[in-house]
Structure 1
Amino acid sequence: MVKVGVAGYGVIGQRLADGVALQKDMELVGIADLAPTLSIKALREKGMPYDLYLVEGADKSKFDAAGIPYKGSFQDLIGKVDIMLDSSPGGVGAKNKELYAKAGVKAIFQGGEKNSVADVFFHGYANYEKGLGVNYLKLTSCNTTGLIRSVDCLDRKYGIDRVAITIIRRVADPGDYHRGLTNALQMDKAPSHQALDLMTIMPHIEATGILVHTPVTHGHIITVVAHAKKGKITKDMALEAFKTHNRIRVVTIDEGFLGNASFFRYARDLGNPRGDMYEIGLWEDSIVESGDNIMYAINIPQESVTIPETMDGIRASLKMQPDSATGTAETNKYLGLGKWKK
């Protein structure tokens, strides 16, 4: 049984912990954090299903005052695991890497860290094999993760050589107070980092993109214009490919999926913890042919979309499965991805 620890119990860390706990061939040894945040207090109120370890600088008296039990130090946790999932604030993961290296423990970092922190910039479908046995992996951002899922899906089936993307980006996660665009959209300089990141993961594809910040919180929407290497991808061909992918949920407007908030509400109605969805949504209505290009739109549930690919990273780094097909299939099985097709 592979032993896993999680550093940082915030927006992503909570979901990483839950994701590992669902994998029947992995054991979540514990989580580590600095302060008794609301997330940690909620964990206590749920009966402390995960063991808590305190990072350097944590004030133990505050945990004691809140009645929150802890098992030991961050170093204690590192010494008990095969791999750490680091979802610490940006820049902290790079410092933590020194502790992992000293202990001989592998690690996977989230999108907030610089690419230089890892040996491989990783995606479960597009370059799983490059992560086999590698000590340090870094996940792509939420937008890039979902974007690559859809582009890789078409690329595997038909071959893609060029994409152009437009990202309609949520400005902050639900509950965040540090950003406050009101009645305004904000442009980023082109090309967006997601387009550049896609080319890093999939260097055979030429990509460019534009990003627009929007004053919403429940998910990003990305439009993609893709061009095939040979021939033309029709709407029916694209739809056929998308419907076979267990991390892409094909929906229609007539079903009630009017936009990003529809997915969030549906996830809550399904009873998914925190209203999470691991899969991206893709509107069948948005798939259109434009000359030799195929265009479509996807919804990115930014808080949870990277969790499956992180589980894939564990499988690759520890050589649990030898290739993308078997590795992603195991992750999908334990997370219940694709179950809506039955």
Structure 2
Amino acid sequence: MTTPQLIMWFAIGALGLIGSALFSGLETGIYTLNRIRLHVLAHAGQPNATVLQRLIHHPNRLLGTLLFGNNIANYMASVAITALLADAGRTDAQIVVINAVILTPLLFVFGEVLPKDLFRSHTDTATYPFARPLFVTQRLLTWTGLLPLVDGFTALLNRIIGTRAGFGRTLHPRRVVTELFRESAGQGLISDYQSDMIDRVLQHTHMRVADVMIPWNQVVTLRTGQPLQSITDLAARVTHSRIPALDAHGTFQGVVDVIDALLKDADPAIPIDSLIQPVPTIQHDHPLPDALDTLQQKQAPMAIVMRDHHPAGLVTLKDLVEPIIGDIEIW
């Protein structure tokens, strides 16, 4: 074997070993890739992230590309070493033994174990640079007909056994976001508390004010014309610092701040009417996020919940934020 031929076979063997390591590492790297970071980078127009997102969108073809590439690389390394051993005068039996004793462990350690561990530990930094080479490899395998052939056999097998590939199913965007954040929590990028809060925020959007309000029959109220002394009598029995006030016909007029009333230096016999403050009203079927926005815009600590033009309950900021951050013992 001439010197150029030796160089060629050494190059083929080296490329095979490197290729085996890359395809094995990429297989692990892509499946451990943080999807939130990928979506953010792709949305920002980062080229490698855009290519990776396109590849991941077709997982069957991506897996086929990785497996084909890995097997081709292993075959290149095996053929190259066999050719070099044959040129060194080794017999066929010796070549088989050397392949089994040296080549197989070599490929297993340097072509499988180490690259998989490397890409798993540094997936976000090691995977992105190889997005375009992987895309080119997939194109080449498509043009040669290998990937379409595998896709055809897969579709035929699924039809025969009566199953459908689950990769193509469409998930609700809210479900996708939930799964992405759970994945980030599993990788330690966000805490369990943050993950739980995100879950509650997503569930929060389905809830209505009627789900968290205090029913009107449980609300302590005042009547216009009552003296300030009546607030002192009620202060020990209410859990809210503001009490709704109704007129003689039961029509809602506003709320009275208990603390302001107790601190006010005035005749206890005068009516409470001068202390009545307006508060917003919210429909019972209002979504919780919209209700929270309303209270924030109005800078109001509570609102009266209405149903068919009649009070149905009372809701406070505490009632609206607890579904997100959990129970608040002190308010």
Report TM bin, short chain: under 0.3
Bigger Cα Rg: 2
Which has a greater percent of helix? Answer: 2
Larger strand share, 1 or 2: 1
